[in-house]
């Protein structure tokens, strides 16, 4: 199921005044022209999508196969109690459209698998990994590296979270660093942890698209909310990686 908002208000540059001083007119124009896939519209995806919509990302595609549940509401800030039972991708699309009517948002209620991924990334400049499992993350990773698209990884558990920016030919890929798919469990998650990591992912997206700042390339950011400390680990490509190396 695909729905999109076709009625775009005119892109009003004054809306972005406070960030244009940071990104420049050219940077803002790059955001306006950018097409981003937010894969997963849960704890991370709702934060990333809201940040990017407000920042004036020209096109956002939101993909998720889930429906809103009561237990999502501690962290998935785009949803309200009356959204329970609705498709997350479509409810989020509607909310973002209200938040910023100047951009185009497309909601796709679909499972991301080896078949559906091709259409989802077809006309996309950058992928945000906001999934809740590594099997789906590896599908995004493979698509990103075969199409040479930047992939902004984020993941959370409890007070902890991690994020890294994967850029084909410049960094390793997700399969250089992580091995398997930990079993899906009821993972404890604090909404505020999603806020930290989702905002890091949104920042990385804006940096990569505008060329400003230094992305978390070849570096893994680890957030420990329990102690309030962030740490960055330098990472290195696996030259024999099955996805981005010699196999």
Partner 1 sequence: MKITVRAFADYREIIGKEMELIDPEGKTIRELLAELGDRYPKLRSEMFTPAGELKEFINIFINGRNIAFLNDMATPLADGDIVALFPPVAGG
**Closest of 105, 102, 96 to residue 11, by C-alpha:** 102
CB of 87 to partner 1, least distance (A): 17
Instruction: Judge whether 53 and 93 are in contact, CB under 8 Å.
Output: no
Residue whose CB is less far from partner 1, 23 or 127? 127
Nearer to partner 1, 11 or 222 (CB): 222
Residue 65 C-beta: closest distance to partner 1, Å: 13
* Residue 118, CA distances (Å) to 41, 169, 178 in order: 19, 21, 23
Q: Which is nearer to partner 1, 4 or 219 (CB)?
A: 219
The residue among 5 and 116 lying less far from partner 1, judged by its C-beta, is 116
- 191-210 and 17-33 helices cross at what angle (nearest 10)? 70
Considering the complex, what minimum distance in angstroms separates the CB of residue 168 from partner 1? 18
Nearer to partner 1, 21 or 179 (CB): 179
Shortest gap between Cβ of 61 and partner 1 (angstroms)?
Answer: 17
Q: How far is CA 157 from the centre of its chain?
A: 17
Query: Rounded to the nearest whole angstrom, what is the least distance from the CB of residue 150 to partner 1 in the complex?
Result: 18
Residues 124-152 as b/e (b if ≥16 CB within 10 A, e otherwise) read bbbbbbbbbebebbbbbbbbbbeeebbbb
> Which residues are near partner 1 by CB under 8 A?
40, 42-45, 130-134, 154-157, 160-162, 176-182, 187, 189, 218, 222, 224, 226-227, 229, 231, 233-236, 238, 240-241
Q: Is 224 exposed, middle or buried (0-12, 13-18, 19+ CB in 10 A)?
A: middle
Is residue 237 within 8 Å of residue 164, measured between CB atoms?
no
């Amino acid at each position: 199921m695909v729905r999109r908002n076709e009625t775009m208000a005119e892109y009003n540059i004054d809306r972005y005044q406070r960030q244009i001083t940071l990104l420049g007119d050219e940077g803002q124009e790059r955001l306006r022209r950018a097409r981003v896939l937010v894969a997963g519209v849960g704890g991370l995806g709702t934060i990333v999508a809201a940040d990017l919509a407000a920042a004036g990302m020209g096109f956002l595609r939101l993909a998720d196969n889930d429906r809103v549940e009561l237990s999502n509401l501690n962290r998935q800030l785009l949803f309200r109690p009356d959204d329970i039972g609705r498709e997350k991708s479509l409810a989020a699309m509607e909310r973002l459209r209200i938040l910023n009517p100047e951009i185009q948002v497309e909601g796709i209620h679909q499972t991301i698998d080896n078949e559906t991924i091709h259409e989802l990334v077809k006309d996309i400049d950058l992928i945000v990994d906001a999934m809740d499992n590594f099997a789906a993350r590896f599908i995004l990773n493979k698509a990103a590296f075969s199409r040479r698209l930047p992939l902004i990884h984020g993941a959370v558990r409890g007070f902890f979270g991690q994020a890294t920016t994967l850029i084909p030919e410049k960094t390793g890929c997700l399969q250089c660093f992580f091995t398997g798919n930990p079993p899906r469990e009821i993972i404890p998650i604090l909404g505020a942890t999603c806020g930290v990591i989702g905002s890091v992912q949104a920042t990385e997206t804006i940096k990569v698209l505008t060329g400003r700042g230094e992305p978390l390339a070849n570096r893994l950011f680890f957030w420990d909310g329990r102690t309030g400390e962030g740490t960055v680990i330098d990472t290195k490509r696996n030259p024999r990686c099955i996805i981005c190396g010699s196999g």
